[in-house]
Every structure is written in structure tokens, then in C-alpha cells.
Amino acid sequence: MQKKLRRLPLVLAVSLALPALALAQETTLGSVVVTAPLTAAPLTVTTDPKAPRQPLPAHDGADMLKSIPGFSVIRKGGTDGDPVFRGMSGSRLGILLDGQEIHGGCGGRMDPPTAYIYPESYDRVTVLKGPQQVLHVPGSSAGVVLFERAAKRMTEPGWSAQGSLTFGSFGRNDQYLEARGGNPDVYVRASATRSDSDNYEGGDGKEVHSFYTRWSTSAALGWTPDDDTLLELSAGRSDGEAAYADRAMDGTRFERENVALKFEKRKLSPLVSRVEANVYHSYIDHVMDNYSLRSNTGMKMLNNPDRETRGGRLAVTLAPTEPLLLVLGADMKRDEHTFRDGTNYFAKPRAGDLSFDRYGVFGEATYALDEVRRVIGGLRVDDHEVTNDKMGGITQGDTLPSGFLRYESDYAGGAGTWYVGLGHVERFPDYWEYMRTANLPRSGDARSFATLEAERTTQLDLGANWTQGAWSAAVAGFYGKVDDYILLRWVTPVTANVRNVDATVYGLEGDVSWRFAPYWQAYGTVAWVRGTNDTDDKPLAQQPPLEAKLGVEYDNRVFSYGAMVRMVASQDRYDIGSGSIVANGQDLGATPGFATLALNAGYRPSKTTLLTVGVDNVFDRTYREHLGKGSWDFGAAQVTDLRINEPGRGVWLKAQVALD
């Protein structure tokens, strides 16, 4: 099946031309391929999304996150996987795109928020683990991921540009270009991305229905009259198509348009150290059908959902006394989803589906007990309301509190920090959970629209970080009790239903690195989680198995070499038929363990140019992830209990350039 969409923003030609440009100043590119980002601070992982990354450099947000210990991805094909952290997915994991909270349009999760992210177009990705913050995305019991763009004031008039080209097996080719120009008072930034791939093959040589083409553009105009003031207007647009191996339809449109206005002011007075505000509007128009990207001699079907999201946030940082730092603020979001179908859908009016309104206030304080000890705590309260237009506009609402308290202490002369924190999060059901309810309960204790309860998580987090000489290490553990955990059951006579159960979750992540010789480093990571459905006395569904990585790398700032072994244990804890909000995202049974080897090398001919090459799955293993979806049997036209194969051996090459 040939791809329909071949839109190509003007990236390729400009990227190829960049190395020929000669400029007076240079920007240095790093040269280490990122394989497993390590913990930098308590409950925080920060990574550079522009750095080369293995496995194959990421083309969407979920693809990038899976390199961070504790993350897994529910594969649906070649793109748009759903990220899972500590065994939790969906709205339990908050995602912010430069301060904007968006949700996809597809009722089957073809397009989670990370589907609209080309990671290299962002400057920093930060993961905040667990219910240990209240400043962003209420209900995020697993954690929050911040994809952020930098807005640093220019010191003198000028311009800069950076771009990359990626080529790989299975027809993979990506292009990225970003340029910025201006003076200390005004700047303009623009970027364009494109990612394209054919169907990939598993280690057994069988082709997986997985091709895609995605592109995006964005631009921003900023005003920076001094070092402490920023006003930025930004806008973006993206689209694409994707084939899916796990379902009866493919995505033929993923159009997103967004606009945002951001303001920041620092050092207003000795009391007010920062004021920040942002407002945004996002619109997603999604089309899926069963005939454009696959052969179909039967009935043609097409769905066209859309989603409009408007939001805003205001926060002020206060320093009333020397040991106290206080952040106070408020935020809101309105989210409306509509639907239409049929091959002539564009001529039909849209029907109302579900809409959500949320208004919240929050406060977070950091108090230094002395030079090495501090207490951090926060509280937020959110008022939620959902309207079901399919049932005549009936509404449900709730006011939900969340909060945390954490103690941190430095030790070993500042070489390390240990911490312990207790957090509580109350999460309002999301769109995908409410859409699985009915006006009247189905069989068993499946919930109706009026009886679905909010999910309440109380969790203890503890751990430590340490850096001394050539060694660096971190360990983080958690234990949580979840009241009214929202669980989906996909094996029913008609369609999936949803209900509340009580659950217990616990696990850990750890990482260690050792610079054992000049230019050499060895590292290891481990992630383990265990969940139990206490109500039914069985394992909690969709929990990833124990996973570890071991690697070694050499980097003398001109040449680099690396090898990484990823080892995943077998998983024999499952609940067949139960799972997540992803369409048919259910446990299918036990999975065996596996191990894969990845190799990479890099060459930096100058400070502004970097070439990297890698081989993933060196031994061409045939394997499947435990969280992998059931594959679609195109002959029998049904979902099978056989999970989607992961890609076989793949080779990739990436060229980057950055110039001032």
C-alpha cells in the first residue's frame, strides 16, 4: 500500500546546505549518544532531546521517553505509542508541551499527547516523578513530563540555525531545521520537522503494517526589553498519517493548530521574584478510516473526531523570608470533543460528545531548615465538571484536593541527597474512561456515567542521589495505595466497560555510572514495578516486567563509541482482558524475557557538526514487549492474541549541524 501523504516542508534542502555556511561564532554540539538518561536531582530526570539517541533517534515523544528508566511504550505500529511510567498511563502521566496541556482526538488513543511532539524541536525534557508536585497537570499520580523550549535573551544582534538529517532501515528519514534571529529586544524563532518511514520488519522477517509520515511547523515572536522580561507569541501547525498494526483503522489526518501567549517577569521586588502567565488554544482535527492506507473489499468506515482545548495559568514566586520560597497560582482548562462519521463526513454537522471544565488553585513552598536540610510541600484544589452531550447534556462534577510533603537532606559534604515524601493525588476520570460508561451499569459492577468515581492515590516516595569523583548513582522507590483505581475490561459481549477497584503499587528505579578511565564510562539502570488489584485479588493489568540496561561508552570529543545491552525479564503476572484506555489495550497473557544489543559510534569533525551511526537489535532478535498490543489479522479482520513484533535489526545515520 502506497502512502498518500508526502508533504515535505522546506527542510531537506536547507539542512543539506547548512554545513557550507561560514560564520564567525560557533555553537558546540555534544557527541555522546543518549541511551539511558540518569537522575540529576531528587525525583527528577532531565535530558537533552536534541542529542542523538539509541534506539533509533526518536520521532515522537513516547519514542524518546522510552530511553528513560521506568518508561515503557504500548506499541500500535511504527508511531504514536502510548507512554507508560511506573506501570501507569493515560491521564495518570501528565504531558505539557511548552506549558500547553493537550489531548488527542481519537477515542481509541491513536494520538496520545506525545504523538504531536517531535522531540528535537524542544530544548529540554524534564520528568518529575510521582505525586511530588502540585504546579502542573492535576491528577498526575505517576508523574509529569515537561517538553520545553528555551527563550534566552540575545546579547547582541545576530542569528543562529541548527538542523539534522536522519536516515535508517525500513525507509526511515527525518529532517529538522530551526532558525532564530533578532537583537536584545526582539527575536523570531521558526522550526520545521518531518519524519517518514515505511513498514518495518520484525526479527522473523515479517512485515508489520506500520508506515507513517508526520510533519510540523512552529514560529514564535518574542519581546525581551531586559534580562528579566519575556513576552512571547507562538503558533504551530502539524499533520500526518499513520498505519496501525493493532486495529481495524488507520489515521489519515492528525491536523493540529495551536497558538499561545507567554509572559515572564523576574526580580520585581525583594518579595516578588517571578511572575509567569500563559494562555493557549489548541485544535485537533483527526480522521481515521479502514480503506485509504490498507486494502479493503468490505464495508468502508470513516470517523472524524476533533478536540478543542483552551487553557491558561498564572503563578507568582515569592521570597517572604530568606529560607522560604513560595509559589502561588491558578490555572484552568476547557476541553471539548465532538464527532462525525461517514465517507462524506465533511458535509455533516458535528455532534457533541464530552466536554470538560477545570479550574484549580495551587501553592508550593520550599523551606530551608539549614544549609543541608529542607522541607518542600504543596497543595492544590481543582473543581472539575464533565458534560455528556450524548445523554442530553447531563453533567457530573467534583472538587478534588491533592498535596504532598517531602523532606530532603544533603549528606557526604554535599556529594549526595536523600529524601522521603508522602503525596496524595485525586484524579478526575478522563475522556477515554467516561466514554466507556453507559447510562445504566452493564454487567457486574461496571460503572455508569453517574457512578464512576475519581481515582485517589496516596504514595510514599523515598530515595537518594550521590556523585563522588568518577561515580554517580541514584535510587528511587515508591509504595502506593490507590482507592477507586479506574480499570477497563475489554473482554465483554459488546464493548469495553470501566469500573473502580482498589489497588496497591510499588517499585523502584536505579542508575549508576562509573568513569573508569579517561574518556570511558560504564553505566547501568534498572526499573521494576509491581501492581495488585486488591478488589479482585489478582495482578493489576498492564504492568511492565523488570528491565535493566548495561552499557559502556568512549568519548574523546572527536570520536565516540558505545554499546548497550537491554535485558527484560519474563512477565507472568497478568489479568487477561483488563487493561488501559488504549483501544484493546489489555493483558494477553505471559511473555518471555529477552535481551537486545545496540551499538553506536560518532564523529565530530568540528564543534558545529556531528555525525552518529548506530545499529539496533544487532542480532535481529524476534521479540515482543509485554505491553505490546494484539496485532490485527488482516485476513480474518480481527485482533489476535499475538502481540506486535518489535523492529528487527536496524541501521541508522544522523547528521547534525549548529551554527551562530
Q: Is residue 161 part of a domain?
A: yes
Reply yes or no on whether the pLDDT at 327 is more than 50.
Answer: yes
Reply yes or no on whether the pLDDT at 493 is more than 60.
Answer: no
Q: Is residue 2 part of a domain?
A: no
Q: Is residue 653 part of a domain?
A: yes
Q: Is residue 421 part of a domain?
A: yes
Reply yes or no on whether the pLDDT at 13 is more than 80.
Answer: no
Q: Which pLDDT band holds residue 391 (cuts at 50, 70, 90)?
A: confident
Q: Which amino acid is at 436?
A: R
Q: Is residue 312 part of a domain?
A: yes
Q: Which domain holds residue 477?
A: 12-659
Q: What average pLDDT score do residues 567-589 get?
A: 93
Q: Which pLDDT band holds residue 9 (cuts at 50, 70, 90)?
A: very low
Average pLDDT, the chain: 91
Of the listed ranges 39-43, 67-71, 362-366, 402-406, the one predicted with least confidence = 39-43
Identify the pLDDT of residue 346: 86
- Say which CATH number the domain at 222 has: 2.40.170.20
Q: Count of domains in the chain?
A: 1
Identify the pLDDT of residue 635: 61
Reply yes or no on whether the pLDDT at 438 is more than 90.
Answer: no
- Percent of the chain, pLDDT > 70? 93
| Residue 16: its H or E element | helix 12-17
Q: Which amino acid is at 73?
A: V
Q: What average pLDDT score do residues 397-425 get?
A: 97
pLDDT digits (tens, 9 = 90+) for 159-188: 999 999 999 999 999 999 999 999 999 999
Q: Is residue 1 part of a domain?
A: no
Identify the pLDDT of residue 441: 54
Of the listed ranges 24-38, 117-131, 192-206, the one predicted with least confidence = 24-38
Reply yes or no on whether the pLDDT at 509 is more than 60.
Answer: yes
Q: Is residue 416 part of a domain?
A: yes
Reply yes or no on whether the pLDDT at 54 is more than 80.
Answer: yes
Contact 235, 259 (CB under 8 A): yes
Of the listed ranges 105-114, 229-238, 279-288, 434-443, the one predicted with least confidence = 434-443
Q: Is residue 329 part of a domain?
A: yes
| Residue 568: its H or E element | strand 559-568
In SS3 terms, 374-401 reads as EEEEEEEEEEEEEEEHHHCCEEEEEEEE
Q: Which pLDDT band holds residue 383 (cuts at 50, 70, 90)?
A: very high
pTM of the predicted model, to two decimals?
0.93
Q: Rounded CA gap, 513 and 267, in Å? A: 38
For the purposes of burial, counting CB atoms within 10 Å of the CB of 398, is it exposed (0-12), middle (13-18) or buried (19 or more)? Answer: middle
Q: Which pLDDT band holds residue 196 (cuts at 50, 70, 90)?
A: very high
Peptide bond into 83 cis (omega under 30): no
Identify the pLDDT of residue 194: 97
**C-alpha distances in Å from residue 353, one per residue of 34, 362, 423, 432, 488:** 42, 30, 33, 11, 20
Q: Which pLDDT band holds residue 31 (cuts at 50, 70, 90)?
A: low
**Cell reading at 499:** 469500573
Residue 14 DSSP class: H
Q: Rounded CA gap, 382 and 330, in Å? A: 9
Reply yes or no on whether the pLDDT at 1 is more than 50.
Answer: no
